[in-house]
Amino acid sequence: MAGKFENQVVMITGAASGFGKLAAQRFGAEGARLALSDISKDALDTLANALRQDGCEVLTDIVDVSQEAQMQAHVDHIKTTYGALNVAINNAGMGHDLKPLHMLSVDEFDRNMAVNARGVFLGMKAQIPMMLQAGSGVILNVASAAGLVGAAHLSAYAAAKHAVVGLTRAAADETARKGIRVNALCPSFAVTPLFDEMADQVGARTGQSRENAYDQITARIPMARVAQPDEIVQAMLWMCAAENSFMTGQAVALDGGLTAV
């Protein structure tokens, strides 16, 4: 039986780890022809080789999403190789050390904005012309619950993710009549290496174990737990699927109720 994304070209940035890696595996299992990028060559090559062994068609490029020439070259590579771009998932992102806004350096702020916000802007800037030419396409930008509410000690990250939500809504408004859907996914904490790093930072600052730091971080979440990565990626699959044909311009929170209170 054909997968939901059979023969569709799916582009995923930040594909070598976390949500991006699992998304590549899940979309590949659904028949997608994959275009994957990351800044980590070894991790990306390892993933691509494993996917090819599973029968997936995979194109890869090393891309710093904050650099326009690299992003455009990647999309051009997709065009020359596959001739189409059906789904684009702008997933690449980064965090920063937990600290009050007034203690953040300008370099930390600028790097977060460059990767998390400009990276999404440059992705859509390169992706939309291909989709306009085809008359259809789906773009999913990975934002964060921190892009919907305040996030103490993560101000640069929160600012960048708020920008992602704004870019998503503007792009959706511009392209809805041209067959393109653009949405944002806003997860809160999930079991990923980034969450482990955050827990370690909290633990170091407060003298707690990682396990106790986990408890402190999740205390604000009404469901009293963090997400499993597959819960986030299943939402990606649904948001990009043909069955979800009437959603555009939305910032969908997957956060265990965090932004509901």
Contact 78, 71 (CB under 8 A): no
The catalytic residue among 5, 27, 157, 214 is 157
Is 157 designated active site?
Answer: yes
Please name the residues in contact with 78: beta carbons below 8 A apart, sequence gap of 6 or more: 9, 11, 35, 59, 85, 130
* Residue (of 143, 140, 133) closest to 27 by Cα position: 140
Half-sphere exposure of 240 (CA within 13 A, CB side): 32
Record the tokens describing residue 103, joined without a space. Answer: 């203690």
Q: How far apart (Å, rounded) are the C-alpha atoms in residues 23 and 187?
A: 14
Quick one: tokens of 2?
């054909």
Let me know: does 28 contact 51? Beta carbons within 8 Å: yes
Residue type, 98: L
Phi, psi of 64 (to 5 degrees): -90, 110
The alpha-carbon radius of gyration of the chain (Å, integer) is: 18
C-beta of residue 89 within 8 angstroms of C-beta of residue 15: no
Which residues are tagged catalytic?
157
